[in-house]
Amino acid sequence: MEEVTRMPLLGDKFPEISVQTTHGPMKLPDQYKGKWWVLFSHPADFTPVCTTEFIAFAKRADEFYKLGVELIGLSVDQVFSHIKWVEWIDEKMGVKIPFPVIADSAEGVSKALGMIHPGAGSSNTVRAVFVMDPESKIRLVIYYPKEIGRSIDEILRAVKALQVSDNYNVAAPENWPNNEILKDKVILPPASSIQDAEARKGKENCYDWWFCYKNL
């Protein structure tokens, strides 16, 4: 029977694995111990959609770095292919890729994270995003079909929201900080007791006892 690798669940620890990258060998997740980091895979080098994504990640890299977030790419292409592709993006598009790119194998990180779709008839990685926190726990997973490019702004927004949630023990509403109802306000945790629920009734910044919000 064919071995099936399950996709990791939110809250799982990132698996320990050694990788070869365009910046040299690394050991994950130790390389980013104590930091937030984003791992994003692409189906193949020298493909148009992936090229547009890498350019967008590169142009927003400083915004990630200001949040203390590291970036690392991945596909099953060999390291020399990654290097040539990164050179091409610099020469033809005028954009330098500042982050490392993992040269993976179908038995490496891709398999450990369930990024090889056995029914797709291909050994290429899917278009995936994994966000890890400073404890190397997987906090967010997004999968895209190969036909659709990612929104890097959405990934950046999600990382900001996760950090705010952790730092202030709150939840972020839809499209935070540009929610149609709450704007940049955040949502308080649910009432923890009947007494707490009663105290919230009719309180300012509460639509009801189960829906309260505040400014940061």
Residue 151, CA atoms < 13 Å, CB-side half-sphere: 5
Please pick, among 28, 39, 50, 164, the residue that the annotation labels catalytic: 50
Q: What is the CA radius of gyration of the chain?
A: 20
Respond yes or no: is residue 212 known to be catalytic.
no
Query: What are 168's two structure tokens?
Result: 């202030």
Report helix, strand or coil for 78. Answer: coil
Burial (CB < 10 A; 0-12, 13-18, 19+), residue 141, is middle
Which two three-digit tokens encode residue 125?
A: 């990685």
| Active-site annotation, residues | 50
